[in-house]
Amino acid sequence: MATNQPKKRTKQSKNNIIETHRKLHNGYSDGLEPLEALDLNKIKDFDGLARAMSKTAFGGRALGEAADVLYEMASDPDCFVVGTFAGAMTPAKMGLLIVEMIDRGIINAVISTGALMTHGLVETTGMSHFKYKMGQMNDKKLYEMGYDRIYDILELEKNLDDLESIVFNVFKNIDPKEIVSSRTICEKIGRYLKEKTSGRGILKSAFNKNTPVYIPALTDSELGLDFALFNRLRKKQGKKLLRYNPFLDLEHFAELILKQKKIGIFTIGGGVPRNWGQQVGPYLDLITHRVGEGGGYVRYNYGVRICPEPVEWGGLSGCTYSEGVSWGKFVPPEEGGRLAEVLSDATIAWPIILKAVIERLEKNKKK
């Protein structure tokens, strides 16, 4: 069948290779962004380092671009930012990064594992974690001495015993008529810490800043076990049990998000905190379609994720933002969504990114 398509012109090279004529572009004419050599002599601070890294490649560029997106969401007056945190970040001594993000208003709500908050309370109340020397200590002996190992960190069983007595002081002031959730428990602990401690801490800062803290899988933690043990003691004493309803958290978070003009999410790791925070969009959408009122169409406009797990493993922590777009959780880049993912150990990438953003925010505040 005849066609009006012109045939590609080719020529025979000296080496008998057929070459197709093509017009070679120079990059600039197509609006491509050029890379730049990382010149440490021109870098004066973390902000400058992150900006320069965003013009390099591989993990360095991902880190620099993540700083750009976090800065954008933190400086957007219409954006409500949710921080989700998983992994052993507080015993790894990253807890004050969360405190800094709360105190500076970079994040406006926190979703966390119970373990992360438990070990953070250990630190806030003046107790210590210790270094585990790889290959030099025996796990069986550690157990016998009351040391709980978290990779290269040692948590003391005594710390957790002492912490129980502290949170019991909070639980005993809860009215049995009240139905509590993880958010209200964290709020009560935060108030106690404000009154009784002098150090900095996540729940203390959250209470001071009226920042809600949600622990969706509370029973999967020492803090949740303490609540269960407290109820067992009350039952033994013939007292009325405290009542706990996790769905109060879900509804409170959904209503809070529904009020916002724009939303962003900053994620360390993955797990339950990340998915619980991201599913608010589908939940509100389902309310609209299956209930008929009280829902809405909400997607995250910004997203920054720091996690070493690659997507190929199929785990929740490795879920990409583009995958989240298919679920209606994120605004796609072509519609203005600003998303950045850094496949790195959070204890390396997070401090650099956050320090760069803090410096950038302070510079622009001065301007």
Catalytic residues: 329
- Tokens representing residue 215 in the block: 């622990």
Contact 323, 315 (CB under 8 A): no
Contact 154, 91 (CB under 8 A): no
The residues, any chain, with a CB within 8 Å of residue 150's CB and separated by 6 or more, are 88, 91, 92
Helix 346-366 with 46-53: angle, nearest 10 deg = 110
State whether residue 41 is helix, strand or coil: helix
The backbone region for 16, taken as left when phi is positive above 0, alpha when psi lies in -120 to 50, beta otherwise, is left
Q: Which residue has the tokens 């989240």?
A: 324
Nearest to 339 by CA among 311, 299, 308: 299
Separation CA 40–CA 48 (nearest Å): 9
